[in-house]
Amino acid sequence: MLLREMSRIECDDLLSRLGYGRLACARDKQPYIVPIYFVFEPGCLYGFSTMGQKIEWMRLNSLVCVEADEVRSHHEWSSVVVQGRYEEFTDNPEYSKQRQHAQSLLEQKRLLWWQTAFAAAQTRGRFDRDITIFYCIHIDEISGRRVSSDPVEHR
């Protein structure tokens, strides 16, 4: 088994292909993880959400971490970790271009996701299609690891 650090290009490529991962935010000293869908563009991850705990927490502390991985087997997987900052595209003129851009990217690529976000909001009794929060995670640091089978083991 060989484990190696991934290059920046490999990390970007994985984020671009996957579009699905886990986001951690923190309040006081308590971290919290939720699965998220995202669209990658160089330097940032676009996402959307209805109101909930992660948005409340990220408004108070914008420092977040996103992890995305592709696990084929115990001997073959890749994992990318992003450290970044949350920026909310609030529904006002200042952010209208960013909201449109994020919405367009997200709708193009991941139409199914909306159903999940709204089903979640409905379950919490907060269903309102008009209150969709668009955001961006600005990527400050990125690192990745890839495990592959060791060719020596197969000789």
One of 3, 8, 97, 104 touching its own copies (CB under 8 A):
3
Residue 122 engages its own copies in binding (rule: CB under 8 A) = yes
One of 39, 45, 64, 106 touching its own copies (CB under 8 A):
64
Nearest approach in angstroms of CB 32 to its own copies is 5
Nearest approach in angstroms of CB 69 to its own copies is 6
Residue 35 engages its own copies in binding (rule: CB under 8 A) = yes
- In the complex with its own copies, the residue whose CB is nearer, 67 or 91, is 67
Q: How far is CA 76 from CA 10, 69, 95, 145, in A?
A: 15, 11, 41, 11
One of 6, 15, 25, 136 touching its own copies (CB under 8 A):
25
- Give the footprint of its own copies on this chain (CB under 8 A): 1-5, 20, 22, 24-26, 29-35, 61, 63-67, 69, 71, 74-75, 79, 81, 83, 112-113, 115-116, 119-120, 122-123, 145, 147
